[in-house]
Chains A and B, each alone.
Chain A
Amino acid sequence: DIQMTQSPSTLSASVGDRVTITCRASQSISTWLAWYQQKPGKAPKLLIYKASTLESGVPSRFSGSGSGTEFTLTISSLQPDDFATYYCQQYDTYVTFGQGTKVEIK
C-alpha cells in the first residue's frame, strides 16, 4: 500500500501569510495527486488534481507542485476563508489520503 505523510500536522498562520504544506508518498506516484480543503462539518472540496492543475472555481492563490514522492500545496496569501484542514490524496494505486494539515489562526 502507498502511504501518504503530510507535514506539518498543524500550522498557525496569519492573514496574508504564504503557507506551504508538504505531502510525501512512500513510493513514486508520478503526478497522480490531489489536494482537498475541508471545513468543520462539511464535505471535502477538491482544490487541485494531477499535482498542479487547479480545479475550476478555485482561487489562484492556491497552487500545487511536485512529482514522484514529494509534493507541496502553497497558499500565496492566506485569506480568512482558508482556515481549514487540507488533505493530499494519491490515486496512482487505488486511493490513500494523508493524515491532514490543520491551518489555524495565529
Chain B
Amino acid sequence: EVQLVESGGGLVKPGGSLRLSCAASGFTFNDAWMSWVRQAPGKGLEWVGRIKTTTDGGTTDYPAPVKGRFTISRDDSKNTLYLQMDSLKTEDTAVYYCTHGYSILNYFDYWGQGSLVTVSS
C-alpha cells in the first residue's frame, strides 16, 4: 500500500523558514517524480513544484509564486521528500500535500494527508 506521510508543519512568522518532510512507502521511491501541491484555506489547489528522479538528473521546477524561496529535495536512502520554505509570506498559509507523479507525467495518483503551514505574526 502506497503511503505518503507529511510532517513539519506549524506556525511561523512572516520572513521565517520551515521544512516539510514526506515519508514515502509502498513504492520504489527512487523511481518516482514527486511534487508538492498546496491549498490555502477555502481555496483551490496550487502546484508548488516537483523533483525528478536522481536518474533523470534530480532537477527541480517551480512556479513563479515560490521560485527562489522554496526548494524541493529528496533523500532516496531514506525514502523521503523535503520542501524547504524560506522568506515565508502570509499568502503561503496552506495545507501542503506531498504527491506521487505517475511515471514522468505530472498527474498525481497518490497524495499524502497534508500538513498545515500557517504564516502569521
Contact in complex: A44, B111 (CB < 8 Å)? yes
A89-B63 in contact given A44-B45, A96-B47, A97-B47 (Cβ < 8 Å): no
Contacts of B105 in A (CB 8 A): 32, 49, 91
CA distance A32 to B102 in the complex (A): 12
Contact in complex: B109, A94 (CB < 8 Å)? no
A43-B114 in contact given A94-B61, A95-B47, A96-B47 (Cβ < 8 Å): yes
**Cβ of A19 < 8 Å from any Cβ of B?**
no
User: Would you give the shortest CB distance from B36 to chain A, in whole angstroms?
Assistant: 11
CA distance A67 to B94 in the complex (A): 32
**Cβ of B106 < 8 Å from any Cβ of A?**
yes
- Name the one of A43, A45, A95, A100 contacting B44, with C-beta atoms under 8 angstroms: A100
Residue numbers of B with Cβ under 8 A of A are 35, 37, 44-47, 50, 61, 63-64, 97, 102, 105-109, 111-114
Chain B, Cβ-Cβ closest to A85: B44
CA distance A44 to B95 in the complex (A): 12
**Cβ of A70 < 8 Å from any Cβ of B?**
no
Chain B, Cβ-Cβ closest to A94: B61
Contact in complex: A46, B47 (CB < 8 Å)? no
Chain B, Cβ-Cβ closest to A33: B107
CA distance A32 to B104 in the complex (A): 12
Contact in complex: A49, B45 (CB < 8 Å)? no
Contacts of A46 in B (CB 8 A): 107-109
User: Would you give the shortest CB distance from A67 to chain B, in whole angstroms?
Assistant: 16
CA distance A46 to B97 in the complex (A): 14
User: Would you give the shortest CB distance from A71 to chain B, in whole angstroms?
Assistant: 13
CA distance A55 to B105 in the complex (A): 14
User: Would you give the shortest CB distance from B11 to chain A, in whole angstroms?
Assistant: 20
Known: A34-B108, A44-B97. 10 other contacts (CB 8 A): A34-B107, A36-B45, A49-B107, A87-B45, A89-B107, A89-B108, A94-B63, A95-B37, A97-B47, A99-B44
